[in-house]
């Protein structure tokens, strides 16, 4: 009997849910059994704000386990991955992406526009904080940590102390909690983080049989979109203190499929908000991202990104999908 493949995952409800869904897909497509192996990461052990934890806090332990051979492959929330390549490892598949929009969960079923001035809104992402400030709605935005249930409890629980929270819609979808969403936020209002809603299925590059086996899960349009968004991020060389957003969509053009990429760099207080877009073919996804970043840098994005906390290429950390 074939030994089960060992899939490494964080232990949160969301991580277990999305890893379980990938495990089921692997078994359905290949017939290979898969067992989940919980790996505790540095990010799971800390209660500090996500943007202060450093790069790769939710993925380094998983990658160490992969390199050591204690697991065969891992599932990451793609936006948690540093943009710099990991030596000896390979993203074997990017499954079909969930809806990458941010979602509002508010008391009394309110939408963002219905929140009164002074309403308290919680989120763990500087990108969201900056964009909420940029909307000029006079909201009180407060950083929050914790898993999805913890954050929802801040609004819906018996000891609720917030009027609303903003989370990734994809995480709520994977947990079967779409019913709590009061508004899925239009990207024109709240541009997602690069690779939000996407998963990365990673294994060792020298495990060629597994590379080929996992490739069956790859969704080419999702991979192209994420490639454009992460090339944009990597070219900006953004540090942890800078909110950066990007969203690529694939659509049918006159001569075939096209990528439409929107990108933004926003100051934390929302007073400076640079946004541009660019189109091209899926084959040129990385070049589209690099070119859009270069345009924003020419417009002064580097002065928003600044030098404080600047850590070089491939080091932006957005925190967990939760």
Contact 216, 29 (CB under 8 A): yes
Kindly give the pairing relationship between strand 120-123 and strand 164-168.
Answer: parallel
Using CA atoms, how far residue 4 sits from 1, 16, 19, 26, in Å, is 9, 17, 15, 11
> What residue spans of the chain are helical by DSSP H?
13-30, 42-45, 60-68, 126-134, 148-156, 169-174, 208-214, 220-236, 285-298, 301-305
* CA end-to-end distance (rounded Å), the chain: 37
Token digits of residue 200: 């990365």
Cα torsion 7, 197, 91, 275 to 10°: value is -160
Please identify which of the residues 44, 64, 80, 269 carries the catalytic annotation. 80
Residue 188 to residue 34: CA distance in whole angstroms: 40
Percent helix, percent strand, percent coil in the chain, to nearest 5: 35, 25, 40
Among candidate residues 269, 249, 243, 275, the one with its CA nearest the CA of residue 261: 249
284: annotated active-site residue: no
Among candidate residues 178, 305, 183, the one with its CA nearest the CA of residue 245: 305
C-alpha angle with apex 292: 234 to 83, nearest 5 degrees? 15
Residue 212 to residue 71: CA distance in whole angstroms: 17
The residues carrying an active-site annotation are: 80
């Amino acid at each position: 009997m074939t030994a089960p493949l060992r899939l490494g995952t964080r232990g949160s409800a969301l991580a277990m849910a999305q890893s379980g869904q990938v495990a089921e897909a692997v078994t359905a497509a290949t017939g290979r059994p898969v067992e989940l192996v919980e790996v505790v990461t540095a990010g799971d052990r800390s209660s500090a704000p996500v943007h202060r934890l450093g790069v790769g806090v939710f993925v380094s332990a998983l990658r160490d386990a992969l390199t050591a051979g204690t697991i065969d492959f891992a599932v990451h929330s793609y936006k948690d991955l540093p943009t710099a390549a990991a030596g000896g490892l390979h993203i074997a598949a990017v499954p079909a992406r969930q809806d990458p929009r941010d979602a509002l969960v508010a008391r009394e079923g309110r939408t963002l526009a219905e929140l009164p001035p002074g309403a308290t809104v919680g989120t763990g992402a500087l990108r969201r904080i900056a964009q909420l400030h940029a909307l000029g709605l006079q909201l009180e935005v407060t950083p929050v940590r914790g898993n999805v249930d913890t954050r929802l409890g801040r609004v819906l629980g018996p000891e609720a102390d917030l009027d609303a929270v903003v989370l990734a819609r994809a995480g709520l979808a994977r947990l079967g909690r779409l019913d709590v969403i009061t508004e899925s936020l239009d990207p024109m209002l709240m541009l997602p983080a690069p690779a939000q809603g996407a998963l990365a299925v990673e294994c060792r590059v020298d495990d060629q049989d597994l590379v080929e086996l996992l490739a069956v899960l790859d969704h080419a349009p999702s991979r192209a979109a994420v490639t454009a968004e992460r090339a944009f991020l990597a070219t900006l060389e953004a540090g942890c203190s800078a909110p950066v957003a990007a969203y690529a969509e694939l659509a049918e053009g006159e001569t075939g499929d096209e990528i439409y990429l929107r990108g933004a760099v926003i100051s934390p207080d929302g007073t400076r908000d640079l946004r541009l877009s660019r189109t091209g073919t899926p084959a040129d996804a990385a070049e589209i991202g690099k070119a859009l970043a270069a345009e924003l840098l020419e417009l002064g994005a580097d002065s928003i990104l600044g030098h404080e906390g600047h850590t070089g290429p491939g080091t932006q950390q957005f925190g967990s999908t939760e």
